[in-house]
């Protein structure tokens, strides 16, 4: 069973009006950050991350682990490589990621 995290970009409507590429840029940046933060033992967990975007809803999934293991990782189970989890830090950094995207005008 895949683990899913769903994000709504509804509150970014003003920015989305500026560019239709903002949701894609944000999801790609979030995916890249989650991928980088993922601990590597076999590589399957890191390689299991995927994302899709439908309208203003982004879905980040990991096909490798059941939800129980994902929750354990989020609670610091991998103390050596991801003591603060994976998704929590990536989402916490999201506002800065969005500002960086806007500043670099990659959108």
What's this model's pTM, rounded to 2 decimal places? Answer: 0.74
Containing 59, the helix (H) or strand (E) segment is: strand 57-62
pLDDT tens digits, 60-94: 988 876 778 888 888 888 777 788 888 889 999 99
Alpha-carbon distance of 75 to 88, in angstroms, equals: 9
Cα dist from 43 to 38, 48, 64, whole Å? 9, 8, 10
User: Domain limits of the chain?
Assistant: 3-104
Cα dist from 92 to 17, 23, 47, 101, whole Å? 24, 17, 22, 16
Residues making up the chain, counted from first to last: 107
pLDDT band (50, 70, 90) for residue 1: low
SS3 call for 24: helix
pLDDT at 89: 92
pLDDT at 107: 44
């Amino acid at each position: 069973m895949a683990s899913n995290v769903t994000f709504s970009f509804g509150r970014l409507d003003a920015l989305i009006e500026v560019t239709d590429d903002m949701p894609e840029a944000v999801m790609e940046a979030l995916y890249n950050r989650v991928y980088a933060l993922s601990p590597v033992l076999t590589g399957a967990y890191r390689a299991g991350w995927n994302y899709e975007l439908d309208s203003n809803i982004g879905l980040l999934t990991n096909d490798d682990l059941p939800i129980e293991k994902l929750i354990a990782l989020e609670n610091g189970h991998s103390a050596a490589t991801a003591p603060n989890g994976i998704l929590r830090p990536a989402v916490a950094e999201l506002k800065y990621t969005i500002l960086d995207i806007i500043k670099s005008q990659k959108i």
